[in-house]
Every structure is written in structure tokens, then in C-alpha cells.
């Protein structure tokens, strides 16, 4: 029996996405994709409705997804895991339509001096540090992927909730735990999304100049330091993080180098989140926000 698929359109995406039996995922999708409205039976590019860019189907043992970015179908039994992985393809689809975007794998927060990028480093705590900084007055643009359109070095916010691993580290501290506990979004045993309003999570499409790039080094017991890094070191690190499985084209390398050259480069070594936030606040400024643990602001 051929399954029936319904076509849906996400705001900001021309291509259609096809769902079959996935109604249980829609509340999770709408919660995590804060600024991506979902509408049945419409796509900005109507010709694309016969060719969905992603298909997601409920089966007996989970949710199966197919897309042009997958060599074979993937399946997840947990609804939150299915949504987490679906978002990877959704961002692929978004960037495919914005084909001149340079996409950086990393977090980005807006400080008083501009947008600071934390390139992805395994278990260095970029997402949790971003939420910590948001609790202190910064505004998150991304906790995983930051698009940079051609012709400049401005990063663009995607309006997707930040995702944290569970459990929180013992060094998280009570104020941050309270901040997170009052802003819980969809979650499972592995991950939890944090609900933030536009004051702490930039709306989709907001842009800001990348003024700093900071490589994170989290080491237990190490003295917290913020040191200047060379452009070549940062470019090399970002190539390893972003293009470990492929050889980037010369145009991508040129654009990456241009973005890094226009930004101040640093290495931040820290043990606790309080240490990291204190160093960044001293060096770059965190606008104080009224602390309100009962409202999503």
C-alpha cells in the first residue's frame, strides 16, 4: 500500500516538505522552530510541491526520513530525536536555496561589540555557554549553524531554539539551572530545547556583523584565560571543523579567510561557565537584562 503524504511549507523555504502520519511531531516542530511557521498544502514555489525536498513518514518502529542529503533513509523511534535530525536537513534545504551562503558550524551570540562566533569544538560547551551568556544579557543567533550571506561578514539568525545535552554539568551553577528550568521546551532523555523570546534569541532573518571569533577550550582545573589567536590558526581550526570530510573549494576558502580577517580572533580556556562569562563580559560587554525567571524574554 502506497502511503499518503501531505505537502507542507515552512516560512522562508521555497521547497515543500512531505509528511505522512507525523501529526505527533508538529507541536515539537512548531516549538523548536520558533520562527518557522508551518502551513499545510502550500509552498512558495508551487512547482516544487511534486518534488518534496524532505519526506518524513511514521512507521511502526519510528519516523523514517528521506532527503537528497541522505545516502539512505534514517529512522528514529523517539519523536524529539526525529525532530532534532529533521532540522539538520531543513537547514540543508534552506542553505541550498540560499546557494551563496557560507555556513559556519558553530554557535554565535551578540554582545555589545557585535557578533561573536564559537566554532564547533567537540564537547567544548558552545551551546551551554551560549545559553549562559543569554541569561546574562547576550542574544543568541545560533547554537549550531550560522549562515553568512555573500558580500559581507554578517551572520544571519535562524530562529531555532538552542539545544542542550542532558544532564547539565555539575559546574552549571544554581542561577543557570533556574534560568533553564523556567524555559524548558521539548526534551527527551538526551536533549532539551530551551525556550527563549526575541530578547535572548534573535528572530529569524536578523543579521549582525561578525566582530569576533573565539575558539573554546574547556579544561577541568585550568586557569581561565582569553588570549589573542592568529588568523591562520583560526582559519585552520574552522576548516577542520567545517570541512573534515571534504575538500572545500577555493571560493569557500577565500570567503572563510575574509570573514576571519575582518574579525578579532581569540582562544578562550575555561573550566566553569561563570569563568567564561566573566571573561567575555569584561572584554566585550553583556547588556544587563532584568532577571525574570517566570517569563520567556
Model pLDDT for residues 113-145, shown as the tens digit of each residue: 999 999 988 777 999 999 999 999 999 999 999
| Strand-pair category, 17-20 with 114-119 | unpaired
Q: What is the mean pLDDT of the chain?
A: 90
- pLDDT tens-digit series, residues 142-178: 999 999 998 889 999 999 999 999 999 999 999 999 9
pLDDT at 288: 55
The CA–CA distances, whole Å, from 82 to 58, 61, 77, 240 equal 10, 12, 7, 27
| Strand-pair category, 139-142 with 102-111 | antiparallel
pLDDT over 90 (residue 99) = no
pLDDT at 120: 86
pLDDT at 240: 77
Backbone φ and ψ of 215, nearest 5°: -80, 125
- pLDDT tens-digit series, residues 198-240: 999 999 999 999 999 999 999 888 899 999 999 999 998 888 7
Q: List the one residue out of 88, 276, 83, 76 whose CA is nearest residue 169.
A: 276
pLDDT over 90 (residue 50) = no
Cell of 257: 579567510
- pLDDT tens-digit series, residues 237-288: 888 776 645 556 788 888 899 999 999 999 999 999 999 999 999 999 886 5
Percent of the chain's residues with pLDDT above 90: 75
Q: List the one residue out of 224, 199, 227, 228 whose CA is nearest residue 278.
A: 224
- CA separation for the pair 271, 87 (Å, rounded): 30
- CA separation for the pair 90, 108 (Å, rounded): 19
pLDDT at 247: 56
pLDDT at 15: 93
Site of grid cell 555573500: 150
More confident of the two residues 93 and 247 = 93
Sheet holding 163-165, edge to edge: 163-165, 191-194, 184-187
pLDDT at 63: 99
Spatial neighbors of 28 by CB under 8 A, at least 6 apart, are: 79, 80, 83, 186
- CA separation for the pair 125, 132 (Å, rounded): 10
Q: In this structure, are residues 217 and 120 in contact, taking their beta carbons and an 8 Å threshold?
A: no
Q: List the one residue out of 101, 200, 195 whose CA is nearest residue 145.
A: 101
Q: Tell me what the mean pLDDT of segment 35-46 comes to.
A: 73
Provide the 3-class DSSP secondary structure of residue 93: helix
Q: Tell me what the mean pLDDT of segment 4-15 comes to.
A: 92
Topology of domain 102-284 in CATH is: Rossmann fold (3.40.50)
pLDDT at 238: 85
Domain map of the chain by residue range? 6-97, 102-284
Query: Where residue 292 falls among pLDDT bands split at 50, 70, 90?
Result: very low
- CA separation for the pair 154, 237 (Å, rounded): 20
Query: Where residue 1 falls among pLDDT bands split at 50, 70, 90?
Result: very low
Determine whether 88 is exposed, middle or buried from the number of CB atoms within 10 Å of its CB (0-12, 13-18, 19+). middle
Percent of the chain's residues with pLDDT above 70: 90
The strand ranges marked E within the chain are 6-10, 17-20, 38-40, 54-59, 62-67, 74-76, 102-111, 114-119, 139-142, 145-148, 154-156, 163-165, 184-187, 191-194, 207-218, 225-228, 264-270
pLDDT at 43: 47
pLDDT over 60 (residue 291) = no
Amino acid at each position: 500500500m502506497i502511503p499518503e503524504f501531505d505537502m507542507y511549507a515552512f516560512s522562508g523555504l521555497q521547497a515543500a516538505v512531505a509528511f505522512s502520519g507525523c501529526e505527533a511531531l508538529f507541536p515539537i516542530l512548531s516549538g523548536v522552530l520558533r520562527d518557522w511557521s508551518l502551513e499545510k498544502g502550500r509552498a512558495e514555489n508551487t512547482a516544487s510541491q511534486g518534488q518534496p525536498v524532505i519526506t518524513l513518514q511514521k512507521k511502526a518502529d519510528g519516523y523514517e526520513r528521506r532527503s537528497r542529503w541522505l545516502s539512505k533513509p534514517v529512522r528514529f523511534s523517539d519523536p524529539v530525536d526525529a525532530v532534532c535530525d529533521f532540522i539538520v536537513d531543513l537547514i540543508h534545504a534552506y542553505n541550498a536555496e540560499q546557494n551563496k551562503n557560507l555556513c559556519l558550524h558553530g554557535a554565535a551570540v551578540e554582545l555589545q561589540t557585535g557578533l561573536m562566533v564559537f566554532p564547533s569544538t567537540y564537547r567544548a560547551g558552545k551551546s551551554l555557554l551560549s545559553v549562559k551568556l543569554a541569561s546574562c544579557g547576550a542574544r543568541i543567533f545560533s547554537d549550531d549553524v550560522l549562515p553568512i550571506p555573500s558580500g559581507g561578514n554578517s551572520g544571519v539568525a535562524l530562529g531555532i531554539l538552542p539545544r542542550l545535552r542532558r544532564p547539565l554539568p555539575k559546574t552549571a551553577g544554581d542561577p543557570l539551572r533556574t534560568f533553564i528550568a523556567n524555559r524548558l521546551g521539548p526534551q527527551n532523555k538526551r536533549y532539551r530545547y530551551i525556550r527563549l523570546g526575541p530578547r535572548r534569541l534573535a528572530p529569524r532573518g536578523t543579521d549582525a556583523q561578525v566582530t569576533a571569533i573565539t575558539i573554546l577550550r574547556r579544561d577541568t582545573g585550568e586557569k581561565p584565560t582569553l588570549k589573542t589567536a592568529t588568523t591562520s590558526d583560526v582559519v585552520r581550526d574552522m576548516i577542520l571543523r567545517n570541512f573534515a570530510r571534504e575538500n572545500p573549494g577555493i571560493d569557500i576558502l577565500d570567503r572563510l579567510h575574509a570573514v576571519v580577517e575582518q574579525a578579532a580572533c581569540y582562544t578562550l580556556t575555561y573550566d566553569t561557565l561563570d569563568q567564561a562569562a566573566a571573561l567575555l563580559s569584561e572584554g566585550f560587554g553583556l547588556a544587563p537584562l532584568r532577571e525574570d525567571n517566570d517569563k520567556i524574554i
